């Protein structure tokens, strides 16, 4: 019978039995208990500079030419932003009624009337064409765009060709799908009123 230390009882002069090295517990000088190691890692991460996400640049526009001044203003702001070589998430409200409602809500929450174009940087409203032109002339727009993701102004998305919308793959753009279980045709829940969805390749 051996005791818990691994030495034979009775003290017969035998050499004490030792576990092999691979089965023994080794205490390393730098070893930390799991809880202490976790706290140490959290403190280390807190001391490290946080990686800042690029601030989003969102431009609400329209591709309709019904109001010439509005269409020209959208084109002017788009051209100004391209000059800064930043990535712009352009949202054409004429292609999706949900985007129009989205902008209406954003402007209403700020006490602003609906108008196009509208520029948001980092979630903050910059304003329409007049405000963007003024900020660009005074150099303040460049400072506002610091931290925005860069993009070649000549970039054209391979998936949508720069339109930022693609036909819905669920219904093929027809806006209706057949449900076999119910044996009827229903409205597709994936696309907008035009049978389109936002391009996942270039839109946020």
Rounded mean pLDDT for each run of 10 residues along the chain, 204 residues in total? 43 48 42 50 47 82 94 97 95 96 97 97 96 97 94 91 93 92 92 94 80
Task: Tell me the two tokens of residue 159.
Answer: 């998936």
What pLDDT is attached to residue 204?
Answer: 66
Task: Tell me the two tokens of residue 125.
Answer: 């409203």
CA angle 110, 116, 121 (to 5 degrees): 60
57-145: CATH topology is: Glutaredoxin (3.40.30)
- Torsions phi, psi of 41, nearest 5? -70, -40
What pLDDT is attached to residue 172?
Answer: 92
What pLDDT is attached to residue 53?
Answer: 67
Q: Which residue spans of the chain are classified as CATH 3.40.30.10?
A: 57-145
Q: Which of 187, 150, 152, 184 has the alpha carbon at shortest distance from 168? A: 187
- Torsions phi, psi of 105, nearest 5? -65, -40
CB atoms within 10 A of CB 56: 15
Beta-strand relationship, 196-198 and 165-167: antiparallel
What pLDDT is attached to residue 153?
Answer: 87
Predicted TM-score (pTM) of the model is: 0.70
């Amino acid at each position: 019978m051996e005791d818990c230390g691994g030495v034979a009882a009775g003290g017969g002069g035998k050499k004490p039995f030792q576990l092999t090295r691979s089965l023994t517990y080794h205490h390393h000088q730098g070893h930390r208990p799991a809880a202490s190691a976790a706290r140490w890692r959290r403190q280390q991460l807190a001391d490290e500079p946080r990686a800042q996400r690029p601030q989003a640049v969102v431009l609400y526009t329209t591709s309709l030419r019904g109001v010439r001044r509005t269409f020209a203003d959208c084109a002017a702001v788009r051209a100004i932003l391209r000059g800064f070589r930043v990535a712009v998430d352009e949202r054409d409200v004429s292609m999706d009624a949900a985007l129009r409602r989205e902008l209406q809500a954003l402007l209403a929450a700020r006490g602003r009337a609906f108008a196009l174009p509208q520029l948001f940087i980092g979630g903050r409203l910059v304003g329409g064409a007049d405000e963007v032109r003024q900020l660009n002339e005074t150099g303040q727009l460049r400072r506002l765009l610091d931290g925005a993701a860069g993009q070649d102004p000549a970039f054209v998305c391979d998936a949508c060709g720069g339109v930022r919308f693609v036909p819905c793959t669920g219904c093929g753009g027809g806006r209706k799908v057949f449900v076999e279980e119910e044996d009827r045709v229903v409205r597709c829940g994936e696309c907008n009123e035009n049978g389109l969805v936002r391009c996942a390749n270039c839109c946020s």
